[in-house]
Amino acid sequence: MGSRLRSLTRWSMAPARDVDTALTPKVNVLRGLAARATTPLLPDDYLELLNPLWSARELRGVVVEVVPETEDSATVHIKPGWGLSGNYRPGQYVGIGLRVDGRWHWRSYSLTSTPRRGKKLLSITVKATPEGFLSTHLVNGVAPGTVVRLAAPKGDFALPDPPPGKLLFATAGSGITPVMAMLRSLRRRGERPDIVHIHSAPTAADVIFYDELRQLDRDEPNYRLHLVLTQETGHLDLGTLGEVVEDWHDRSAWICGPSALLDSAEHVWEEAGLADALHMERFTIARTDKGGEGGTVRFEISDKTIDIDGATSLLEAGEKVGIQMPFGCRMGICQTCVLPLDSGYVRDFRSGDEHGAGDRINTCVSTASGDCTLKI
């Protein structure tokens, strides 16, 4: 009897098997049954026309409010739609897709909201960077009501539960964002580990969350803020870290910021033989200047890697290492070979256009533009 019920449940939810659900997968029994009438679509594809949030086919949200933080940064509050679980860990990031001129662009940003039962709004804090096309849009151009796409929160840069007793946070610029989520969550949960927080920014006006950090510094005896204003004092030299935090050797270190900061932190902690105590979040992958010059291609699911030049297609690269790559016309017209690009950049032979992570690419007419990873 039980097994018959189970197989009935399985049959019912079959068309909706892969759909994300926020609370319980049981919702998909209903969705799967309704999909018998909407096939090949899901009921979500119709409901979405009534309310853009009523679909879990692709995770999505609606921008509720954009609050400026500093001159060039803002916090975007997002109401998530169906299927997005509120069960993330402070310090994790979320992928966000924004439609600009008809095309979806994806970037990842650390969540600055804290996970709470019943309160579903997510927030990310974004700093507009001159080369960051999407960040500029998010800071200046997103009207409330705009529908954005979301990718489920992920990342290992998240405090264990319970948190370590002694912490060192070192952040620079927008690298403050994941740490802010951690600080907020610790405070809300009433946990008071001993924290030293070194934060760098050009001037006080550039410090995101300045007031909130100051207040923490005033109110919380276990939290010490050390601001480095680089226009006045120059960059923080991690070599002389001991002068600022005497006991840094004893602390679990969490560092987020530009590559230069992370590289030097890696060096310092390794020298001290403390690599295990160091946790870092890297935001950017180094991108080649000219592109189309080849690179190392990683095939994630098959776990294979190959170096190719800029004249070898990704399809050929995959075949060389023995992967059954999907292919058809081998001339870029049939779309059989399209695969999602997981990270890095590739270049289309025909147009010379560069594609980044989150794009789906024709492997038969694309080559690596620096290192990249394909999901196959």
Partner 1 sequence: MAITDIKRYAHLTEADVEELSRELDAIRSDIEESRGERDARYIRRAIGLQRALAAGGRIALFASRNKVAWVAGTAMLALAKIIENMELGHNIIHGQWDWMNDPEIHSTEWEWDTTSPSVHWKKSHNFIHHKYTNVVGLDDDIGYGIMRLTRDQRWERWMIGNPVYNMLLGTLFEWGVALHGVETTKYRKGEKSMAEVRKDLRIIGKKIGKQVGKDYIVFPALTGPNWKHTLGANAVANLIRNYWSYMVIFCGHFPDGAEKFTREEFESETQAEWYLRQMLGSANFHAGPLMAFMSGNLCYQIEHHLFPDLPSNRYAEIAERVRALCDKYDLPYTTGSLGRQYWQSFATIAKLALPDKLLRATADDAPETHSELKFRVREGVRESFGQDPATGKRRGLRTALREMTSGELVTA
Q: Looking at beta carbons only, is 18 or 276 nearer to partner 1?
A: 18
Q: Please say which residue, 54 or 106, places its beta carbon nearer to partner 1.
A: 106
Does 359 bind partner 1 (CB under 8 A)? Our answer is: yes
Compose the 269-308 pattern: x for residues touching partner 1 by CB under 8 A, - for all others: ----------------------------------------
Beta-sheet pairing, 73-80 with 93-100: unpaired
Candidate residues 10, 154, 188, 360; the one interacting with partner 1 per rule CB under 8 A: 360
Q: What helix, strand, coil percent values describe the chain, rounded to 5? A: 30, 30, 40
Return the residue of 39, 145, 240, 290 that touches partner 1, per CB under 8 A: 39
Closest to partner 1 by CB, 101 vs 243, is: 101
Whether residue 17 contacts residue 79, with contact meaning beta carbons closer than 8 Å, is answered with: no
CA-based nearest residue to 73, from 4, 168, 176, 190:
176
Rule CB under 8 A: is residue 358 a binding residue for partner 1? yes
The residue within the footprint of partner 1, chosen from 4, 103, 117, 290 (CB under 8 A), is 103
Q: Does 108 bind partner 1 (CB under 8 A)?
A: no
What is the residue type of 338?
V
Helix segments in the chain, DSSP class H: 2-13, 27-38, 43-47, 133-140, 176-188, 210-219, 230-233, 241-244, 259-271, 314-320
Residue whose pair of structure tokens reads 């934060």 in the numeric block = 199
The binder of partner 1 chosen from 1, 5, 37, 143 (CB under 8 A)? 37
Q: Is 333 in the site for partner 1 (CB under 8 A)?
A: yes
Residue 138 sits at φ, ψ, to 5 deg, of -65, -40
**Could you write out the DSSP letters of every residue in 202-246?**
SSGGG-TTHHHHHHHHHH-TTEEEEEEEHHHH----GGGHHHH-T
Task: Return the residue of 5, 24, 102, 240 that touches partner 1, per CB under 8 A.
Answer: 102
How far is residue 213's CA from residue 199's CA, in Å, rounded to a whole number? 10
Q: Answer yes or no whether residue 234 interacts with partner 1 by CB under 8 A.
A: no
Contact positions with partner 1 (CB under 8 A) in 180-199: none
Q: Toward partner 1, which CB reaches closer, 195 or 361?
A: 361
Among 101, 211, 219, 276, binds partner 1 (CB under 8 A): 101
Q: Which residues pair with 70 in a beta bridge?
A: 73
Of the ranges 62-70, 244-252, 290-298, 323-331, which one interacts with partner 1 (CB under 8 A)? Answer: 323-331
Structure tokens at 82: 């169906």
Instruction: Pick the stretch among 119-127, 184-192, 311-319, 332-340 that binds partner 1 (CB under 8 A).
Output: 332-340
Nearer to partner 1, 46 or 210 (CB): 46
Query: What is the CB neighbour count within 10 angstroms for residue 259?
Result: 12
Instruction: Report the alpha-carbon distance of residue 49 to residue 84 in Å, rounded.
Output: 19
CB of 359 to partner 1, least distance (A): 6
Provide, rounded to whole angstroms, the least separation between the CB of residue 37 and partner 1.
5
| CA angle centred on 209, ends 208 and 211, rounded to 5° | 130
Nearer Cβ to partner 1 (134/182): 134
Q: Which of 99, 116, 218, 235 binds partner 1 (CB under 8 A)?
A: 99
- The long-range contacts involving 270-275, CB below 8 angstroms and separated by at least 24 positions, are 274/249
**Cβ proximity of 254 and 182 under 8 Å:** yes
Output Rg (C-alpha) for the chain, integer angstroms: 23
User: Which parts of 55-94 interact with partner 1 (CB under 8 A)?
Assistant: 57-58
Nearest CB to partner 1, comparing residues 18 and 211: 18
Our finding on whether 338 is near partner 1 (CB under 8 A) is yes
CB of 36 to partner 1, least distance (A): 5
Among 2, 5, 18, 49, binds partner 1 (CB under 8 A): 49
- Which residues make up the interface to partner 1 (CB under 8 A)? 15, 36-41, 45-46, 49, 57-58, 99, 101-106, 328-329, 331-336, 338, 351, 358-360, 362
